[in-house]
Structure 1
């Protein structure tokens, strides 16, 4: 089943938000796209710019700058808004300020009568997704973040390049926090139907497990390198948001590594973290539990502890 009029509201028209909007337009993912920003003039300009490209797009789309009232009949509200870190500001202070920004966003969205899916991209995405869930009061399955979807795409790209195969035939995931404590569960990584670790062992030294760890580190530090080179990352995450939105609107039941609340899975409770999930029109249909090794489970536990501690340090009264 597909929605008759697929409507998406984007909140935040910065580089991430507009990379998402541009990707949505080029892929024809929705029928109606509403742009909301505290700077309404900017939102109007962005809508105008996108509309001028409609003649070259593969499908028609209604694009306009709107208000929170426009969320009432939306299928997805995507949040890419937030404040940047100030010089000398602690991560906790930044979190606290972004929590207040989200309160000013989520309350009017829910007051509009919105009853769809929240998709969060603002960093630190796992914590901001949990904040969205707490403020909105929505069922956690209808509030998800981009999680490690982009990290997983980076991983598959690098693995495909290393093994000389199409990245779409690399079945591997990045799990945990979208950040420094993320990890790759190599025990679950496959090239087609063959475990990657077996491919390495059977290659006669052509492929090595040491290189797998180098690839894992390259994935973890990719954002730092991009930020150092061009100050921000936005194209990749914009396309990741589009892929998740397409899974929701198309009721695809696709497996994506989004930020979802764990409720007993992997022995964890009430923490949002990047894990493989089945995503459809209801949001997270279910969390897929993979058979992690003892070491991999410890890495996931440590990542969850980091996220839980960060959230608990916030003043959410």
Structure 2
């Protein structure tokens, strides 16, 4: 990474704007290049100008100065960035169906991926747009970039939701809990209960030693983690804070070369007998993107759930002719 950290954002809706704000407040970026998607539905240029103005007005209260660039729909300007966050979506289309944004986001992504690639982008993509795994696969195929340089936020967010649920029922802090939702960032995701631990001690062992505290309804807690986004959406017709912070955590891992381990969407290359699609497993994230994929010892039931999740991603890829 260069001395001056440059981050690009495509799509300045609820999530994109919160990504920019979180990057500023955490001191992750020195320059932020913001673009909007071309759309005949409404004038997005005014929204972009408004967000840039509002963010600029906040700088006096922030840790350090950040150069803010309104790039309109000139996507080629983002080629100079270290990381580009794709937040170009329309959450209202997924209000009922987790795959509701499928055609909108994949069609939209085609309008900027190749332009940025042809302009010489050699950094790392972080994809938020849903269906996350499908769009991440599309970014890889359309750009021709090393697939390890494409990261989907995937179940990083869902894993955080699972930790939050487990924190509430046990009283332990989320940072002391190791727990992953794996597979698709969507309805087919699943909790890897066989690998949950508290302070390094397996849940299975704790359930035997302290049944009154650790014998809970796994399916119910898993459902709460899976449906957390819809609880948020039901109240304010969007999700914004958590997913933006998940993306920023990945950006920080890249620009700081952290070798940070998190669940996120990456290209499968034979893990559990699957390959050729993006889906979430625990990954080591650093300057080059996904440096290593960690395969866990999953139970037979969890393996079945993983294969079913992969099958659903492939179905969506076939629907959009990306496969």
Separation in 1, partners of 2:47, 2:188: 36
Once the two structures are TM-superposed, the CA of residue 307 in structure 1 deviates from its matched residue by 0.6
Report if the CA contact (8 A) 1:92-1:314 is conserved.
no
For 1:283-298, list aligned pairs within 5 A.
283-298=289-304
Separation in 1, partners of 2:284, 2:105: 28
The 4+ residue runs of structure 1 with deviation greater than 6 A are 87-93
Residue 20 to residue 86, structure 1, CA distance change in 2 (3 Å): closer
Separation in 2, partners of 1:58, 1:97: 37
Once the two structures are TM-superposed, the CA of residue 147 in structure 1 deviates from its matched residue by 0.4
Separation in 2, partners of 1:44, 1:64: 10
Report if the CA contact (8 A) 2:101-2:131 is conserved.
no
1:268 has 2:274 as partner: yes
Which of 31, 52, 66 in structure 2 is aligned with 1:47? Answer: 52
1:119 has 2:102 as partner: no
For 1:141-160, list aligned pairs within 5 A.
141-160=148-167
**Comparing 178-187 and 158-167, the one that deviates more:** 158-167
Task: Report the number of matched residues.
Answer: 315
TM-score (norm 1): 0.94
Separation in 1, partners of 2:94, 2:239: 19
Alignment-derived partner of residue 64 in structure 1: 69
Unaligned 5+ residue runs, structure 1?
none
TM-score (norm 2): 0.92
Separation in 2, partners of 1:240, 1:117: 15
1:314 has 2:316 as partner: no
2:186 match: secondary structure:
coil
Unaligned 5+ residue runs, structure 2?
38-43
Report if the CA contact (8 A) 2:105-2:130 is conserved.
no
Deviations 1:232-286 (A, max 9, x none): 1111101111111000110000001111010011211111111110000101001
Once the two structures are TM-superposed, the CA of residue 87 in structure 1 deviates from its matched residue by 10
Separation in 1, partners of 2:85, 2:274: 26
Alignment-derived partner of residue 25 in structure 1: 24
Once the two structures are TM-superposed, the CA of residue 151 in structure 1 deviates from its matched residue by 0.7
**Comparing 157-166 and 259-268, the one that deviates more:** 157-166
